[in-house]
Amino acid sequence: MARRLTVGAAQLGPIQRKDSRAQVVQRLIALLRRAHGMGCELVVFPELALTTFFPRWFMTERAEIDRFFEASMPGPETQPLFDEARRLRIGFYLGYAEMAGDKRYNSAILVERDGSIVGTYRKVHLPGHAEHEPWRRFQHLEKRYFDESDTGFKVWRAFGGIIGMALCNDRRWPETYRVMSLQGAEMILLGYNTPVHNPPAPDHDALSLYHNGLVMQAGAYQNGCWVVGVAKAGNEEDVPMIGGSQIIAPSGLPVAQATGEGDELIVACCDLDAGLSYKSTTFNFARHRMPQHYGLITSRKGAEPPP
Ligand code: CDT
């Protein structure tokens, strides 16, 4: 019997700095209810889904920075989301800024239909820079505000399948998908915040949406797994961000795609066994991978061309 999981990708439109957590949580709950009406068992929200994308600003005061972080999950402001999800018997993936003692992470959690937290993922690939770069129209200070991941890439048995999590910039790196597919990932959940404009490489701007689809579709196909990519999109604090949320089959083909840049739900009924024909033929890892020739992947960080 096919293992089917009905998944909703709950794209968010912009969250402005003045928007309260309570307002944002109400938007998430509205999407959750819509997802329930469409038969979803799992809803995927974006990266840093509770606030504006604050790494765009240089800040020095700890208290000012910490306002964007959650000291507990659920906390008083997110409890209504957990309560409603449990009432509706829907699970969810949520990206948020996590405060853990004196550490700060860009994190995502996976919550089961009974409201229990299945797992936490802390972002591995933190893009951008750590110091103020005033020449940029806006900053990208993830390397300043977030600590290095201590979780790495893991997968969990949940929702009747094997589920992995990643966040935004992770989707551009083939290692992200491969490390999880080597653990049997059948579906990878991935929220993102991607400005259309990349200050160090403005010549890439026109390709932002194309690259978004390219990397997630390649990740799905080359690893025989579903990829659910979900944006926070639209004009946030005068910074335009891409949409392009999509649910991608193990074939690499998107089966559902967002059309706008606001709050939008797209849904697909995913056969978790659909990756088997890829994993047992072209991408039969045990048969065809040649890890003895891949040593540089982990032993070397930057490219070193021959003399
Ligand atoms: N949030 C995040 O990781 N965004 C990055 C922007 C890259 S430009 C520094 C991304 O890869 O989409």
The DSSP symbol for 148 reads: P
**Rounded Cα–Cα distance for residues 73 and 34 (Å):** 23
The answer to whether 225 is a known catalytic residue is: no
pLDDT of residue 2: 78
> Rounded mean pLDDT of 45-64?
98
Mean pLDDT over the full length of the chain: 98
Q: Which of 41, 98, 112, 123 is catalytic?
A: 123
Ligand 1 neighbours (beta carbon < 6 A): 47, 127-128, 140, 168-169, 172, 192-194, 198
Selecting among 70, 84, 112, 168, the annotated active-site residue is 168
Residue 3 CB: number of other CB atoms within 10 A? 13
Q: Is the pLDDT of residue 1 over 70?
A: no
Distance CA 143, CA 130 (A): 5
The answer to whether 168 is a known catalytic residue is yes
269 counts as catalytic = no
For residue 24, the surrounding DSSP H or E stretch is: helix 21-37
Cβ burial, residue 203 (10 Å; 0-12/13-18/19+): exposed
Mean pLDDT of 78-89: 98
Mean pLDDT of 137-151: 98
pLDDT in tens, 196-229: 999 999 999 999 999 999 999 999 999 999 999 9
